[in-house]
């Protein structure tokens, strides 16, 4: 996603600047309109209703976006725990089979767990994806060699099933982190509605001939912070709100101690 390349504080500052500029443009437009009307005000009730409708629609879209981003965040948290459980099961089942291949698989599982516990940025996520897939290939080669050298049994089937589960959860985590995101169309709708709503507030103030800079700045900051939180929840790595990796870290420590 393009927005992942921008720092969160930069997004906050940019959003705040755009909102304040929209309020100012609306205010100046209102003052110009008031001059055109010769000092006569337009229907205050109509303007208030239209501004309220804009704000209500903006609040609805923001709530919808927040719910979507929060759902994706919770999905990522759940998948971390599921991934740790799958890795632990695969490691334990590998220990049930005495063979050189299973010892290699156990070592690869520890390395695989270590890689997944250290993710902290989008760029690192790309490197992690490549390393994880390479480690998966190595584990699968060892599993193939094991079944070719020994007569397959129930234990072999359980081990292969566990490895498949590890690989499947990897794909689910990739989808949850890189594909399940707030869509661009929704971000564009949020930006357009926020700009129009703030221009409407400024226009209403301009027609009234009064404005409160402190209240306007507070309103702009409030909406900007909400957008920042949505962007942060939607960002899989590098943000202030991150999925808890304690399950993976605890598993890594446990596996390293068992060696």
- Asked whether the beta carbons of 194 and 19 are under 8 A apart, the reply is yes
Query: Residue 2: is its pLDDT beyond 70?
Result: no
**All residues at 6 or more sequence positions from 58 whose CB lies less than 8 Å from its CB, including other chains:** 190, 193, 194, 197, 223
Q: What is the pLDDT of residue 3?
A: 57
Task: Using alpha carbons, select from 220, 225, 218, 221 the residue that is nearest to residue 198.
Answer: 220
Residue range 162-183: mean pLDDT, rounded: 88
- Asked whether the beta carbons of 117 and 255 are under 8 A apart, the reply is no
Q: Report residue 244's pLDDT band, with 50, 70 and 90 as the boundaries.
A: confident
Backbone φ and ψ for 37, nearest 5 degrees, come out as -85, 0
Q: What is the pLDDT of residue 43?
A: 63
- The predicted-structure confidence for 41-81, as pLDDT tens digits, reads as follows 666 667 778 888 888 898 899 999 999 988 988 888 898 89
Q: Report residue 82's pLDDT band, with 50, 70 and 90 as the boundaries.
A: very high
- The predicted-structure confidence for 202-213, as pLDDT tens digits, reads as follows 888 887 777 778
- The predicted-structure confidence for 22-48, as pLDDT tens digits, reads as follows 999 998 888 887 777 665 666 666 777
Q: What is the pLDDT of residue 44?
A: 66
- Asked whether the beta carbons of 99 and 149 are under 8 A apart, the reply is yes
Burial 165-180 (b: 16+ CB within 10 A, else e): bbbebbebbbebbbeb
Write down the residue that tokens 């989008």 correspond to.
122
Q: How many residues does the chain have?
A: 259
* 111 against 179, higher pLDDT: 111
- The predicted-structure confidence for 120-170, as pLDDT tens digits, reads as follows 545 566 777 888 889 999 999 999 999 888 888 899 999 999 999 999 999
Q: What is the pLDDT of residue 138?
A: 94
DSSP 150-194: S---HHHHHHHHHHHHHHHHHHHHHIIIIISS--HHHHHHHHHHH
Please state, rounded to an integer, the average pLDDT across all residues of the chain: 84
Q: What is the pLDDT of residue 4?
A: 62
């Amino acid at each position: 996603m393009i927005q992942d390349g921008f720092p969160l504080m930069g997004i906050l500052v940019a959003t705040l600047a755009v909102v304040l500029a929209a309020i100012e443009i609306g205010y100046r437009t209102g003052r110009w309109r008031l001059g055109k009307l010769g000092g006569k005000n337009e229907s205050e009730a109509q303007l208030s209703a239209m501004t309220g409708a804009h704000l209500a629609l903006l609040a609805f879209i923001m709530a919808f976006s927040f719910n979507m981003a929060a759902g994706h965040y919770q999905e990522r948290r759940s998948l971390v725990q599921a991934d740790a459980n799958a890795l632990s099961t695969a490691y334990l089942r590998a220990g049930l089979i005495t063979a050189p291949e299973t010892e290699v698989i156990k070592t690869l599982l520890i390395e695989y767990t270590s890689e997944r516990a250290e993710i902290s940025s989008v760029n690192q996520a790309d490197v992690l994806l490549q390393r994880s897939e390479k480690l998966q290939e190595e584990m699968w080669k060892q599993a193939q060699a094991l079944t070719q050298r020994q007569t397959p049994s129930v234990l072999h089937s359980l081990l292969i099933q566990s490895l498949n589960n590890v690989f499947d959860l990897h794909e689910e985590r990739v989808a949850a982190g890189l594909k399940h995101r707030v869509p661009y169309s929704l971000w564009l709708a949020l930006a357009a509605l926020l700009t129009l709503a703030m221009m409407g507030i400024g226009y209403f103030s301009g027609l009234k001939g009064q404005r409160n800079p402190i209240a306007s700045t507070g309103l702009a900051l409030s909406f900007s912070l909400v957008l920042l939180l949505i962007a942060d929840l939607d960002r899989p790595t590098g943000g202030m709100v991150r999925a808890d990796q304690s399950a993976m870290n605890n598993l890594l420590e446990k596996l390293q101690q068992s060696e």
